[in-house]
Amino acid sequence: MKGFTRREFLRTSGGGVGLAVLGAGGLAGCAAAMKGDIAPKTGRRVVVIGGGWGGATAAKYVRLADPGIEVILLEPNKEFVSCPFSNLVLSGVRPIESITFGYRGLRRHGVRLIHEAATAIEPDTRRVRIGEGYLEYDRLVVAPGVEFQWEQVDGLAAAKETVLHAWKAGPQTVQLANQLQSMPDGGVFVLTIPPVAYRCPPGPYERTCQVAWYLKKNKPRSKLIVLDANQNIVSKAGLFRAAWKDYPNIDYRASNKVTKVDPSTREVSTDFGEKVKYDVLNLIPPQRAGTIAVQTDLVGADKRWCEVNHLTYESVKVKNVHVIGDSTIGLPVPKSGNIANAMGKICAVAIVHLLNGKAVPPMAPGNTCYSWVNDREAIAVVNAYKVEGGKVVQIEQKLTPGQSVAWAQNADGWATSIWNDILG
């Protein structure tokens, strides 16, 4: 096993590590054509489900730590589109291409990619199903992100192709940006925020800033109504409220949970019985762990999120299966990209130690989260953690004193660095 120190392992971006690509670095073919044992196992193997911020990181870092371990990553999408910074696409500050990347870097590290979705997990036989085929594993990493609870908003399941969430960066991000641009001056944009917990706590409030900035600049007679199911802004509240002083077009309504949507009348209903008309609607639904985590019963009593061991991220319910990223709960951390990236590294360290018969070192994640409040300025929060008694605990949280161009420049640098850390 390669001798990284914990600090080196967490900080390295993978530069200069010459890992040979296994074959073409991927396995071709569609799920329907895959039958039986897709790739017979010849040694130690880790399979990773989901190539987002957590899964891609875990796949890369297992290979960095021990090139003798085969890593297969299951990710149906052929491109990685970053959720952080996607709000800037809505406002036209960034093009979608600037947050879209390929997986070539992972292949260079010897990660084998299959661009198919895992359809089932069989823990008893340590198999992952892909259509009619399967892959065997020694350790499995499940990083499926979030899925939406469509049924919690009446009418949403039937309208989910036209009522946009844009909460998984990609085509809907561009579609919502187009709807915003096409909205007449004087129109009403309605943004709804689900109850916690959900992916990226400050994300809806950053989106509020970006939409309000765009409207102020391009459609000054329009307004933005924000219907928040929570009692208050759930992250960076003081900083966002200060930023919103520049946007008199924001009508923020706390404790307004959306219960119904009717596209035929272009209105949403709240739990107060109020009906709110819209020209453009961005409805962010309530969320839970990705579907495969629920199907495998990795979720807890709430049937939404997965509890894990704080040192290894192994499921508390299923042995040899690790869960990272937004699907987890129980740690005092936000569902953020930075946390998913940190979980991916720590989980990789743990898996490599376990497969080599060594004790897992205690390692705590860290979190930095930037939010853009206009086209040039950002705010940020930094969370520090430690491991105490086998549990992750928060030891400090720091907020920027206000918004500034300097913090936005830091945000750009952070994004470039972490994208390279995940995929480079």
CA–CA distances in Å: residue 402 to residues 88, 233, 369: 19, 16, 14
Per-residue pLDDT tens digits of the chain, which is 424 residues long: 344 344 443 443 333 322 222 333 555 445 556 789 999 999 999 999 999 999 999 999 999 999 999 999 999 999 999 999 999 999 999 999 999 999 999 999 999 999 999 999 999 999 999 999 999 999 999 999 999 999 999 999 999 999 999 999 999 999 999 999 999 999 999 999 999 999 999 999 999 999 999 999 999 999 999 999 999 999 999 999 999 999 999 999 999 999 999 999 999 999 999 999 999 999 999 999 999 999 999 999 999 999 999 999 999 999 999 999 999 999 999 999 999 999 999 999 999 999 999 999 999 999 999 999 999 999 999 999 999 999 999 999 999 999 999 999 999 999 999 999 999 9
pLDDT of the residue at 34: 76
How many residues does the structure list for the chain? 424
Amino acid (1-letter code) at residue 43: G
Distance (Å, rounded) from C-alpha 304 to C-alpha 182?
36
Return all residues near 171 (Cβ < 8 A) that are at least 6 apart.
none
Amino acid (1-letter code) at residue 328: T
Return all residues near 388 (Cβ < 8 A) that are at least 6 apart.
none
Strands (E), 330-377: 366-372
How many helices and strands (H and E) does the chain possess?
Answer: 11, 25
pLDDT of the residue at 35: 87
Domains and CATH numbers, the chain: 6-147+289-363 (3.50.50.60), 151-285 (3.50.50.60)
DSSP string, 187-220: -EEEEEEPPSS-S-TTHHHHHHHHHHHHHHHH-T
pLDDT of the residue at 25: 56
283 and 165 in contact (C-beta within 8 Å)? Answer: yes
pLDDT of the residue at 250: 98
pLDDT of the residue at 90: 98
pTM: predicted TM-score of the whole model, two decimal places: 0.92
Largest separation between any pair of C-alpha atoms in the chain: 65
Distance (Å, rounded) from C-alpha 351 to C-alpha 357?
10
Token pair 């594993």: residue: 137
Distance (Å, rounded) from C-alpha 349 to C-alpha 3?
11
410 and 369 in contact (C-beta within 8 Å)? Answer: no
Amino acid (1-letter code) at residue 33: A
Distance (Å, rounded) from C-alpha 216 to C-alpha 213?
5
DSSP secondary structure letter of residue 325? G
Distance (Å, rounded) from C-alpha 36 to C-alpha 40?
9
